[in-house]
Structure 1
Amino acid sequence: MWHFGNWEYVSHPDSSKVVTRFKKRTALIGDLQKHDCSLKIDEVKVDDTGPFCFRFDVPGIVKGSYFKHEVLIHITDSPDVPSINCLPELKAGVDLAVTCSVPHTCLTNPPIITWSYTNGTFAVYHNKTGNGAWQVYSVLKFIPLASDHKSRLTCTAKYWGGKQADASVLLNVTYRPKNVNIEYKESRVKEGASIDLRCASDSYPPASSYQWYNVIGDQTLRLPQTSATIYVQNVSRKSRAFFCTSQNSEGLTNSTTVRLNVEYKPEILSESACTLDITGQLTCQCIVDSIPPPEIEWRISGSNLNESNTGLKSFSINNSRGQQNTVTKVLQGWVPFTGILSCSATNTQGKASMSFKRPMSDSPDVPSINCLPELKAGVDLAVTCSVPHTCLTNPPIITWSYTNGTFAVYHNKTGNGAWQVYSVLKFIPLASDHKSRLTCTAKYWGGKQADASVLLNVTYRPKNVNIEYKESRVKEGASIDLRCASDSYPPASSYQWYNVIGDQTLRLPQTSATIYVQNVSRKSRAFFCTSQNSEGLTNSTTVRLNVEYKPEILSESACTLDITGQLTCQCIVDSIPPPEIEWRISGSNLNESNTGLKSFSINNRRGQQNTVTKVLQGWVPFTGILSCSATNTQGKASMSFKRPMSGMVLTI
């Protein structure tokens, strides 16, 4: 039991004897068997200072209080602040152990220590220091990084009851130079000028020595300068690459290589030249080394080359053959030059030029044909073929593959002993010329020749317009696909369909190349179409479908007797395909030899297409029932005939 000097109990086995202000706040936590009478007080207040006295009572044996050993408690407003051990010198990448400790007097609820550094591991230890006091330790193990330099490491002691206190130390981490780079102000420098370069880095302690290097081609030269900043004179395109090293007590680090943007006037390289390949094509290359990139122009006899007039074309290739900072201007075509060809290159630092020799070839110069306009069938056209030469007395003779036109030849002096011969062909392109090649041939004195050709694209209105379909015959009432086919350039873009019925022509709503016709009949079997493109419109011929239908015996079929008493019967049948027609008397086939009658057929009688007339004729009028029967692959029909009236009575 614990009590004040006035016998007010702060701790007692009988809680009813505990004074009010200590109720539920105290507990005896010591082990009396080990002579430990420790008292725990929760929610300590300012006036909980004591003095406190311990009392023991063993009923019937012994009891007493330790008045001579009263306990006083020193209470503060703030909790004890933890302490961090003195750190050794920190090195980036080297293991480190840091200890944070704090004293306390509550073993059952000691302070909890946490760390601001989360990338390590820690262990907690408790140590009894005597007189009811303890020490809690937390040992943090981690590997410092260069990025931890100048950061604060904090440990926090969190106490039972909610209060906390912390302590921190500044980390000074030594590390070798990093982020080593070369700094300079000028984004570009003229060849032959000077520039300041600075070797910058991040390190602790700061870098104490430097070394500079110059990279020239495959060689790396060590420079004599050892300061952070150097002054480079007479910078050139070949010596524009540098790197440096930065060193402190922790180590040495290289920078990346910096290539200065050195500007210099164009230089036309010696490998620039003109060549002719086995086909006679001329290829000239003007290879220019230059920063900034140059403007390159081709010239003939001092004048800028006009590509549209010469038939030559030019284009540029950057860094050709793997050579940095080079631009190759290529001139190409089948018309080798006769004047002085030169290449001119210019940039902000200056200019350069170079003349080219005419390449020699076993092949003669190839003629060129001027760029053709859009060709229209039936419209006059003039085409020019030209070729250079140096022999006025025996110039090349130009001939054409097209023989249905007329041509005229002209000669023009181009200078420096060179000439140009022109042949102008005039003709009227036809639709049949479309996709054919027009060739001009230059025949040289001595027997050699060369030619050039162009593909003719001739526009013409649709021709050979016709209706195509797969079925050679179609049953009446069935359906069929019809296609309006034509030959035209450009291809036909619109179509129109028509149905011819008797004397009427009906315009159908369909406007596509192919239509689907339903319920075909003998009356609506005639069709034609129109095909149209940008050049005009053309009609097809009228197509009459072969519509098959069963026989129909027309109403004008009849028997007559003339004044001589001759019987004539006509069975007129409309049918596709043509029918088999038979005469019958009282259901039996007519036997001409027994009756003295004869029969014969007439096709398309009275101008009626698809009709067959079966005629029965003789001087013996019938007395039975005369009928006509017509049959084809689509069906059959029959008709009975009335006996004709006459003043004569004849019997069979």
Structure 2
Amino acid sequence: MITDHSNILADLSVGVPDPVMEGSEVKLICNNICPSLYNPTMIWRKNGQDLPVHQTNNNELIFQSVSIEDEGHYSCALKQHEDHPSRPVELNVMFPPRVPSVSVSPHSQTLEGASVTLTCSSEANPPVESYTWFNRNGSIVSKLDTGKYYNIGNVSSEHTGDYYCEAKNLYGASNSTAFHLDVHYAPRKLSASLNHSGKIAEGSSVTLTCSSDANPPVENYTWYRRTTAETVHVGTGERINFNLTSDRAGLYHCEAHNSVGSLNSTGVEVVWAG
């Protein structure tokens, strides 16, 4: 039997498969054990700390389903010769991209005319090789661009929609969940309409309607009547109703308001036939 254990123990080495894929069964093997040693007892270490015996199978360290939590530097040594371990080897676990996340900058509400940047992020080993951006409109998916960042300058309501990214590396690809870009803008395409044409008989029911495109939707509509002398507030709401009298004739307009801004319509004339 060889008695110079220090020389033999210094030759211990750990065999690691390559590549090591997440979820696979992996065996680390302690090699170069002196053949003259009968049934030697091995000690395994991770990052310099002894591993529990129940995790080892003597000269093999077995991972039934290896994960990134198992990553580290491993070494082996013969029991009672712990001061002569093998050289540590790194267990590096490979995995395809995790489900990416999408973030937007600036983080506040997206206003029409602003510049918006979408960022795609994913953890992977090896790191993500490529990011690809897509837009989904109903069942139609359009490829937009490649890269970790996707910039939209001078954003408009036409950019409202669902965006997602694909992250890819050597071992696979993964798509993010859809990010809904909601572009906010002040009221526009504002119009006021009247349920009559021409002159209106006294006592007739008059309905004025205000409509507008806005995002977020219009919070309130305000109605005004303009005469030769002044402009007066006459009501609120998308519609106003009244029975016509001579003092209610005049030029009416509405104002639409949301959190972004406000807009006045052109006037609609209510003509008394008396």
2-structure distance, mates of 1:271, 1:300? 11
AA aligned opposite 2:177: T
AA aligned opposite 1:238: E
1-structure distance, mates of 2:265, 2:78? 85
Residue 144 and residue 85 in structure 1: after superposition, are their counterparts in 2 closer, same or farther (change >3 A)? same
1-structure distance, mates of 2:207, 2:77? 85
Residues 209 and 226, structure 1, Cα contact 8 Å, conserved in 2: yes
AA aligned opposite 2:74: T
Check if 1:265 corresponds to 2:186: yes
1-structure distance, mates of 2:63, 2:261? 66
The match for 1:303 is 232
The match for 1:336 is 242
Give the TM-score normalised by the residue count of structure 2: 0.64
The DSSP-based 3-state class of the residue aligned with 2:158 is coil
The DSSP-based 3-state class of the residue aligned with 1:177 is coil
The match for 1:222 is 143
Give the CA deviation at 1:172.
Answer: 2.5
The match for 1:345 is 256
Residue 222 and residue 337 in structure 1: after superposition, are their counterparts in 2 closer, same or farther (change >3 A)? farther
Residues 10 and 86, structure 2, Cα contact 8 Å, conserved in 1: no
The match for 1:143 is 65
By relative contact order (CA 8 Å, sep 6+), the higher-ranking structure is: 2
Residues 27 and 60, structure 2, Cα contact 8 Å, conserved in 1: no
Q: Percent identity?
A: 22
Larger CA deviation: 345-354 vs 99-108: 99-108
The match for 2:100 is 180
Check if 1:213 corresponds to 2:213: no
Aligned-pair Cα RMSD in Å: 4.7
Cα shift readout 1:100-133 (whole Å, capped 9, x = no counterpart)? 357478758x435356599xx9663xxxxxxxxx
Give the CA deviation at 1:85.
Answer: 0.8
The match for 2:228 is none
The match for 1:290 is 214
AA aligned opposite 2:214: S
Residues 296 and 343, structure 1, Cα contact 8 Å, conserved in 2: no
Check if 1:97 corresponds to 2:27: yes
1-structure distance, mates of 2:194, 2:122? 49
The DSSP-based 3-state class of the residue aligned with 1:238 is helix
Residues 92 and 144, structure 1, Cα contact 8 Å, conserved in 2: yes
Give the CA deviation at 1:140.
Answer: 1.0
Residues 14 and 86, structure 2, Cα contact 8 Å, conserved in 1: no
Extract unaligned runs of 5+ from structure 2.
Answer: 196-204, 226-230
2-structure distance, mates of 1:107, 1:290? 84
Residues 256 and 263, structure 2, Cα contact 8 Å, conserved in 1: yes
Give the CA deviation at 1:203.
Answer: 1.9
Extract unaligned runs of 5+ from structure 1.
Answer: 1-70, 125-135, 275-280, 307-313, 315-328, 359-414, 420-652
Aligned length: 245
Q: What are the within-5 Å matches in structure 2 for residues 158-557 of structure 1?
A: 159=79, 165=85, 168-187=88-107, 188-216=109-137, 219-223=140-144, 225-241=145-161, 242-267=163-188, 286=210, 288-291=212-215, 294-301=218-225, 302-305=231-234, 329=237, 336=242, 338=244, 339=248, 342-347=253-258, 349-354=260-265, 417=272
Give the CA deviation at 1:152.
Answer: 0.3
The match for 2:202 is none
The match for 2:14 is 84
The DSSP-based 3-state class of the residue aligned with 2:262 is strand
Residue 177 and residue 273 in structure 1: after superposition, are their counterparts in 2 closer, same or farther (change >3 A)? farther
Residues 298 and 341, structure 1, Cα contact 8 Å, conserved in 2: no
Residues 297 and 304, structure 1, Cα contact 8 Å, conserved in 2: no
CA radius of gyration, larger in: 1
Residues 216 and 259, structure 2, Cα contact 8 Å, conserved in 1: yes
